[in-house]
Structure 1
Amino acid sequence: MKKLLLPLGIAALMMSSCGSKPASELTLSGLNPKDFQTEVNTQPVSLYTLKNKAGMEVCITNFGARIVSIMTPDKDGAMKDVVLGFDNIKDYINVPSDFGAAIGRYANRIKDGKFELDGEIIQLPQNNFGHSLHGGPEGWQYQVFKAKPINETTIQMTRFSPDGDANYPGNVTAVVTYTLTEDNAIDIKYEATTDKKTIINMTNHSYFNLSGDASTPITDDILYINADNFTPVDSTFMTTGEILPVADTPMNFMTPKAVGAEINNYDYEQLKNGNGYDHNWVLNTNGDITKLATKVTSKVSGISVEVYTNEPGIQVYTGNFLDGTVKGKKGIVYNMRSGICLEVQHYPDSPNKADWPSVVLEPGQTYNSRCIYKFTVEK
């Protein structure tokens, strides 16, 4: 008989009421589930934990369907938390951040917050250099999802977004399913349906620090991106509409190299425009989820994360705007480049680029996107 996965605080209370003595109410990553129990807009928020037989642990809150912690073994077998985040729900609510979130309706930027759909110009909230970023200032990262635990390794998060939400058309129901596999991968599946023609582009916005020490930058990590081309941006981080080759530029990660090897080369316009790496790469994988899209490895811990996806692109962001003003888990200050984001996606501003892969979702269709973060160790 499969055990139902309960919010950890409830599970602990049940164990106490039955006379059992839990080893600890804290998660393996040191989180206290009680610090995540609250209500937002009358909707309950909790912390949920996935565990596999190998001992890996992933903690998720239904506020923004966010990954809060990922505990995975390093080269010495010690468990390390490899993502940035907060250790309480108050900070997630009060400190603007995308840490670990399921982004929607539209991940990344839409130029001037405008797009045309069947002849109608739709104006979205503008929150980033005049553009609409990650669904606007009240995007799904700040909304409560309905959590449905499936078993010890799988949980579904559902968000109903009404017609006109942030001025997006259509009543949209989106489901994010997180599965922790037995081979230490987080398999994320996104599905969405609509009753009116709309656009959608979801992703996960975890900041990875594979050393397990978020006080150290990720610039020495080794990065591989399976992409011969990328989409350049202007000084407002907006895609220009071009697709350019990475060959003979600092954007070339076809041969793995340190993230920081050329990151401060601001003589190269794209690094100046992005304040480092904050770009979309056009993947060579052609939607084949069995092909490796991206890989990052910490030389300190030996931990690697491999990324597989059916999406055409990946936004690699190197935490350029973390500035030391935010304290995360364990009171660690998050300084510039203390995390790297690996956001699989359709290309930024696709609604305004007719020749790029479409992000339009019609009634009767189901949006399907998938991202696998697989954790391995190199000794």
Structure 2
Amino acid sequence: MKTKNILMAFAAGILVLTGCQSKSDQRTTLSGILKSNFETSTTDGNTDLYVLKNKNGMEVCMTNFGGRIVSIMAPDKNGKFEDVVLGFDSIADYMNISSDFGAFIGRYGNRIGQGRFTLDGVEYQLPQNNYGHCLHGGPKGFQYQFCDIQQTSDSSLILSYLSKDGEEGFPGNLDIKVLYTLNNNNELSISYEATTDKPTIVNLTNHSYFNLSGNGENTVLDQVLMIDADAYTPIDSTFMTTGEIATVEGTPMDFRTPKTIGEQINDTSFVQIKNGHGYDHNFVLNTKGDITKPAVRLVHPASGRVLEVFTDEPGIQVYTGNFLDGTVTGKGSIAYPQRSAICLETQHYPDSPNKSNFPSVVLRPGEKYTSNCIYKFSVEK
């Protein structure tokens, strides 16, 4: 009897250890995201989770559904790693809950007025999915498409997507490749390339929702923002650019000297704050395409985390999560409250196809579209 009891106890121990090992094997990411929660097969395509790492312990997780950045683990001043982007724990939520969390945005990031533009004398009508305008490529934009991902190393991958002629109303077959690299300077670089077989328009970006506190229950109102921009493009009450390029001088839009996001975000006496429900504006960057100069600097004083954005684009959309309202539950069962993140979307200006004074977004056969963005993480002691 004693021997039998010993054998039963031993077997039970093996089962416990096996169960723990199995669970541990599933939890392959520093962020705690389960790879198995992103492995699925549908009639439209298969999905998976891809992990980038550098020698400093940073980690970036992505899925090929919408080319979404799922998590970014960045250290604070004490070396503690936390996830600094909002998102979901499973591919099911990304597929079933309408969001732009971490997404690869195209064919045209931001808005096109009334969903219409004319190119070479031909008028094109796009879906009108936001206050009568076309937003982020339409309701079936790239963020809801299955992309191909090839992981080329532990720290880099290449995303590919063919946007077919007529997809969401856009002309031309657009062949896109995007290189994501996490280097040992704690920089996540995103390099876009695209070619077309017909004249078309292109404006690609990433839509990560950053919160440097590492806790999506917190707002970003205490985080300190600097934007190297003397001007911005005002919007009307439908979030559409008016065509004006206005000075930030003497307005709540002036972030040339660092200030907290929350300092003037509720100053609705300034019509642009009222129209945007906070900040939801394109800033005209002084960097003028020089990717060696920081366009934006964001600091979370309590943790010491710093995010700098470098780009060769002429503009950046700054959106402060104004429409988050606690109804969407994300990673860790957190119901994301209003202004619990900031989006920093490098781009050409909104509605450029209809604004002759804005930089052109036209791409023609034989040309190559390129756009580059670097999100650099560091700490202030």
Whether the 8 Å contact between 2:44 and 2:146 is mirrored in structure 1 is: no
1:52 to 51, 54, 57: 54
Q: 1:182 Cα deviation (Å)?
A: 0.5
1:308 corresponding residue in structure 2 = 310
* Structure 2 counterpart of 1:166, one-letter code: E
CA displacement at 1:318 relative to structure 2: 0.1
Query: Which of 116, 121, 124 pairs up with 1:122?
Result: 124
Of 242, 245, 248, the match for 1:246: 248
Match 2:110 to one of 108, 111, 136: 108
Larger radius of gyration: 2
* CA deviation profile, 1:163-217 (whole Å, cap 9, x unmatched): 0000100011111111001110100001111000000000000000000011000
Using the TM superposition, give the Cα deviation of residue 40 of structure 1 relative to its aligned residue in structure 2, in angstroms.
4.0
Equivalences for residues 287-306 of structure 1 within 5 A:
287-306=289-308
CA distance in 2, matches of 1:24, 1:89: 15
Q: Distance in 2 between matches of 1:184 and 1:308?
A: 13
Measure, in 2, the Cα distance between the counterparts of 1:39 and 1:357. 41
Q: CA deviation at 1:354?
A: 1.1
**Partner of residue 218, structure 2:** 216
Q: Does 1:325 align with 2:327?
A: yes
Secondary structure, in 3 states, of the residue corresponding to 1:112? helix
Q: 2:355 maps to what in 1? A: 353
Query: 1:66 is aligned with what amino acid?
Result: R
Task: Give the distance between the partners of 1:104 and 1:42, measured in 2 at CA.
Answer: 19
8 Å CA contact 1:40–1:144 kept in 2: the answer is: no
Structure 2 counterpart of 1:124, one-letter code: L
Give distance in 2, aligned partners of 1:102 and 1:190.
10
**Distance (Å, rounded) in 2 between the aligned partners of 1:241 and 1:354:** 9
Q: Out of 249, 261, 264, which is 2:263 matched to?
A: 261
Deviation at 1:41, TM superposition (A): 3.7
Give how far 1:86 is off. Answer: 0.2
2:259 and 2:375 mapped to 1: Cα distance?
20
Kindly provide the amino acid, as one letter, of the partner of residue 89 in structure 2.
D
What is the CA–CA distance in structure 1 between the aligned matches of 2:41 and 2:347, rounded to whole Å?
A: 31
Between the aligned residues of both structures, percent identity stands at 59
CA displacement at 1:85 relative to structure 2 = 0.2
Contact 1:113 1:130 in 2 (8 A): yes
Distance in 1, Cα, partners of 2:247 & 2:180: 34
1:340 is aligned to: 342
What TM-score does the superposition give when structure 2 sets the normalisation length?
0.93
Post-superposition CA distance 1:98-135 (Å, at most 9, x none) = 00001000000000000001111100000000000000
- Cα distance, 1:299 vs. partner? 1.3
- What residue identity is the alignment partner of 2:301? K
Kept after mapping to 2: 8 A contact 1:220/1:258: yes
Structure 1 residue identity aligned to 2:288: N
Alignment of 1:78-97 (within 5 A): 78-97=80-99
Shift, 1:22, TM fit: 6.9
CA distance in 2 between partners of 1:239 and 1:25 (Å): 45
Aligned to 1:311, the other structure's residue is in SS state: coil
Conserved 8 A contact 1:232-1:240: yes
Unaligned ranges ≥5, structure 1: 1-15
C-alpha deviation, 1:21, in angstroms: 11
For 1:90, what is the secondary structure of its paired residue?
helix
Q: After TM superposition, give the deviation of residue 280 of structure 1 in Å.
A: 0.2
3-state secondary structure, aligned to 2:307: strand
**Would you say the 8 A contact 1:148–1:155 is kept in 2?**
yes
Q: Provide the rounded CA distance (Å) in 1 between the counterparts of 2:245 and 2:350.
A: 12
**Is 1:162 matched with 2:160?**
no
Report the Cα distance in structure 1 between the residues aligned to 2:336 and 2:26, rounded to whole angstroms: 28
Query: Would the alpha carbon gap of residues 268 and 40 (structure 1) be closer, same or farther in structure 2, given more than 3 Å must change?
Result: farther
Q: AA paired with 2:41?
A: E
- AA of the residue aligned to 2:40: T
Residue among 344, 357, 365 paired with 1:363: 365
Residue 64 (structure 1) aligns with: 66
In 2 relative to 1, CA 21–348 (structure 1 residues): closer, same or farther, beyond 3 Å?
closer
Report whether the alignment pairs 1:171 with 2:169: no
Partner of 2:196: 194
In structure 1, what is the equivalent of residue 33 of structure 2? 31
- What per-residue deviation string (whole Å, max 9, x for no partner) do you get for residues 11-70 of structure 1? xxxxx9xx9997663310010000001124431110000000111000000000010000
Q: What is the distance in 2 between the residues matched to 1:263 and 1:228?
A: 18
RMSD: 1.5
1:205, 1:238 → 2: CA distance?
18
AA in 1 matched with 2:372: R
TM-score by length of 1: 0.94
Amino acid paired to 2:101 = F
CA distance, structure 1, for counterparts of residue 235 and residue 218 of structure 2: 28
**Paired residues of 2:26 and 2:36 also in contact (CA < 8 A):** no
Q: Distance in 1 between matches of 2:241 and 2:43?
A: 35
Structure 1 residues 263 and 35: alpha-carbon distance in aligned structure 2, compared to 1, 3 A threshold: same
Q: State yes or no: 1:142 paired with 2:144.
A: yes
Question: Paired residues, what number?
Answer: 362
- For 1:6, the equivalent position in structure 2 comes to none
| Secondary structure, counterpart of 1:188 in structure 2 | strand
